[in-house]
Amino acid sequence: MPAIHNGADDNASGTALVIELAREIAKDQAMQQFNYLFMTFSGEEKGLYGSNFFCKNPTIDLGKVSAMLNFDMVGRLDPEKNTLGINAVGTSPFWKEAMAGIQIDDMKVKTAESGVGPSDHTSFYLKDLPVLHFFSGTHSDYHKPSDDENLINYAGVDKIYRYVWALLGKMNENGEKLPFTN
């Protein structure tokens, strides 16, 4: 029987984080020395349709893009493991250096090097752009009607948000287009 799939984690959680970042950057004068483009994509599960289309038909000069940050499923940080996955840290030497100085509460960070993965950051990586993919982990409600709001770990989303905000601050301090590593 057909059922409503609210997708609270996949991917309302990422969309909410993008909206909150946009709201806070709009209020912060120091962060406004750079341009930010906030966008969300559809068709990821069908083959990265949205991000792939954008990268092949960009409405901006991708050569001026410093980095792409992808927030795909950031709503279910396991309170026991308390570990945020950050993929694609090998796509710029800046990432590891900047991330080394960020500690948010007791949250741990587990990284992976590759810029290729099953989410929208891959489309940008294939255009030689530094990327990061933030991910709080899989769960039994993935792509099921049970992926609902009551299961979101709001304190965990806040930790992830504060981590990203600190990383954006370091990018702001750096002030330069990030170098790409293939």
* Predicted confidence pLDDT, tens digits, the chain (182 residues): 899 999 999 989 999 999 999 999 999 998 888 899 999 999 888 889 999 999 999 999 999 999 999 999 999 999 999 999 999 999 999 999 999 999 999 999 999 999 999 999 999 999 999 999 999 999 999 999 999 999 999 999 999 999 999 999 999 999 999 999 99
Give the pLDDT of residue 1.
81
Give the pLDDT of residue 47.
86
CB 180 within 8 A of CB 38: no
Give the pLDDT of residue 4.
93
User: Residue 142 burial by CB count (10 A; 0-12/13-18/19+): exposed, middle or buried?
Assistant: middle
Q: Which amino acid is at 102?
A: I
- What is the reported pTM? 0.95
Buried b (16+ CB within 10 A) or exposed e, 31-60: beeeeeeeeebeebeeebebbbebbeeeee
CA distances from 168 to 65, 66, 76, 142 (A): 14, 12, 22, 29
CB 44 within 8 A of CB 120: yes
Whole-number Å distance between alpha carbons of 32 and 104:
24
Give the pLDDT of residue 147.
96
Q: β-pairing, 108-112 with 83-87?
A: parallel
Whole-number Å distance between alpha carbons of 118 and 121:
8
Give the pLDDT of residue 97.
96
- Partners of 168 in the β-ladder: none
